[in-house]
Structure 1
């Protein structure tokens, strides 16, 4: 290696002794708003970004200094062929995770550096689920798909693997990564900033606002409790979860809050929802604060009944799975809610299948129709009146379909 460096130096000094015309033309250039130094020397192309934007006078002055340094080193025979000597040096605070400051043109490389930089600031659920899904998404792509010049083709490639709705969720993370990379001078432009705009337009869905009628709720609870559609030979009966389904309806709580509920949070007159279990992680509630829900006679009767079947030690779950663990909501919805309600739909007892979460819509809608004012419902459900109107309050389809006559006013 020493001999090789000596040869390089000797060769450079030889070149320096010749006409200065042999020194390449080196100066900063505009690269989509950023700054780039590109030149050819001894038959090889070199590219370097000194950082900053082309419209920033200080950044341009620094880039010209770097270009001048390269010229001087070539003339003196000290040119660094790796360009490491001319890379920007950024001093970081002691508490900042160190990352590779070299220019990165590959989306996967950028994503890995983004995760390192953000790992201490994001929730465990994001890292465990969303990041994992993005990792899988990038793993489906070819190396050329990850290059900046093919960014305009990226969404088209990914739509071959994902639906538009699923892809939109993943691209939010990629766009955040792109913005971070630009702000830290790892890319010259916001290359992957607006990928979601390339997604096909989707029709607006009212699915999230839909709710069951009171009669449909009765059928659903009865179907669970009576094992209407349960295999007689199954060791896991549907009836085990009847209380869980009814509790979701009576309280309107988010399913992840009910899954995490322990007996120490069941007081004399109220239930304290102070934690949630989502995607394999126990965490605080969605809004990071506890909420109280009054125990009505119906809820008290349910809790007393529940206490007969499960341990009521303070730290024990009120609604454990049949194996004694926390319920996996996705698995529960597929194995129980979907199967049971689709059977009810086929028999004409329920109009349509709705996910487990829609029991929250149903509860909020029914309390409002029973005359509880929206401000009170919003406070009890730990949400806002605006969110209720946008996402939870389901219109009365019987009235909309002219099946019920409006009263005179």
Structure 2
């Protein structure tokens, strides 16, 4: 009899688990928990034999032969081993999508599942087949922006590709050509504030200039928060989540630890690009700013708590404070054009690169990007450049 939930074959240190009716292997390698999911019906005796064989292979490679494949490629199933669960009926996109989610939910970031996958879950008809995809695309285009539709289709395309690889779906992937045909607006030109504009913006915040008569609180409350971002280039979500414990001394040098983000009303550990932690060196200018920040008692020990002593609402701050103030400065001719609060990151990176005080690899490391990404997405063009005489 097959156990309902999980079991270990005799003498094998690999658990065969029932995960929503599908087979999953659990084991430990070098002190770390490892998982391999198979799209096989857990209660099928033939599939159980396949799982036991794979579990035994993994156990032997770890404990007997010391030749464990850390890529796990060796332990994946070959398409011919897959038992088809859908019989002769035409497989639906919903079945393909649910199959993909089950296999990938341990690998894909929770925030991606919450923001991207949920849109598919809400809009996908249970009876939609692959050849009806064009109708679904029309529905999406009437509901979302093209950039959002493209992300949705990329996820669905990946799900179809996975089903093809595992023999669940026998046919072509029509979404690939549809994605190519979608004309998405070109990426915006990367821009940054000038040094004089940064000084002006900080002055406006610090001295409550342009403060509306009916404002419920002084905008100067957020001066330190804005100045901190100009001096670190942190993402808004990272700056919001910084605590006093993230600033510390080591080897006679002050460091800022960035290891979490505040996104969609929750703290997410790690940085946006998947790195657990990055260390930012605190210079004298930033140290002076931090030393001047009053410690406001709040439950999360935040460096920048909101007026209500909780996490700053980024959208609310950007819409009600940042945007009106910057537009005021634009109208006064003190700032050339409106740039979003996120563009403060572009400004820091651009000015640090132009300073010549650090190489691109070092800059990319402290801001949490690769050099190609930094150049492509964050480094603004210097419009004030005057070419020297070369010859």
In the superposition, the TM-score normalised over structure 1's length comes to 0.67
- Cα separation, 1, equivalents of 2:185 and 2:205: 34
* Residue number in structure 2 paired with 1:102: 86
* Residue number in structure 2 paired with 1:160: 142
> Runs of 5+ in structure 2 lacking a partner?
1-43, 56-75, 77-82
* Residue number in structure 2 paired with 1:292: 279
User: How far does residue 188 in structure 1 lie from its aligned partner after superposition?
Assistant: 1.9
- Cα separation, 2, equivalents of 1:135 and 1:195: 23
Q: 1:111 is matched with which residue: 73, 91, 97?
A: 97
- Cα separation, 1, equivalents of 2:349 and 2:309: 30
Q: 1:254 is matched with which residue: 227, 235, 241?
A: 235
Please state whether the residue corresponding to 1:267 is helix, strand or coil.
strand
Number of paired residues? 310
Q: Provide, for residues 266-322 of structure 1, a one-character-per-residue CA deviation record: whole Å limited to 9, x for no partner.
A: 01311122222233342211342322222222212211222x252389x61112222
Indicate whether 1:134 and 2:120 are aligned: yes
- Cα separation, 1, equivalents of 2:133 and 2:298: 56
Please state whether the residue corresponding to 2:193 is helix, strand or coil.
coil
User: How far does residue 258 in structure 1 lie from its aligned partner after superposition?
Assistant: 1.4
* Residue number in structure 2 paired with 1:380: 366
Inter-CA distance 370–245: structure 2 relative to 1 (3 Å threshold): same
Contact persistence 1:338–1:355 (CA under 8 A): yes
User: How far does residue 348 in structure 1 lie from its aligned partner after superposition?
Assistant: 2.1
Contact persistence 2:163–2:169 (CA under 8 A): yes
Contact persistence 1:178–1:192 (CA under 8 A): no
Inter-CA distance 127–369: structure 2 relative to 1 (3 Å threshold): same
User: How far does residue 357 in structure 1 lie from its aligned partner after superposition?
Assistant: 1.8
Indicate whether 1:322 and 2:322 are aligned: no
In the superposition, the TM-score normalised over structure 2's length comes to 0.70
When the two chains are superposed, the root-mean-square deviation of aligned CA atoms in Å is 3.1
Q: 2:289 is matched with which residue: 282, 293, 302?
A: 302
Indicate whether 1:215 and 2:196 are aligned: yes
Please state whether the residue corresponding to 1:194 is helix, strand or coil.
helix
Contact persistence 2:97–2:156 (CA under 8 A): yes
Q: 2:259 is matched with which residue: 262, 266, 274?
A: 274
Contact persistence 1:249–1:363 (CA under 8 A): yes
Larger radius of gyration: 1
Q: Provide, for residues 133-181 of structure 1, a one-character-per-residue CA deviation record: whole Å limited to 9, x for no partner.
A: 332343xxx677x332222343233222222112112222111221222
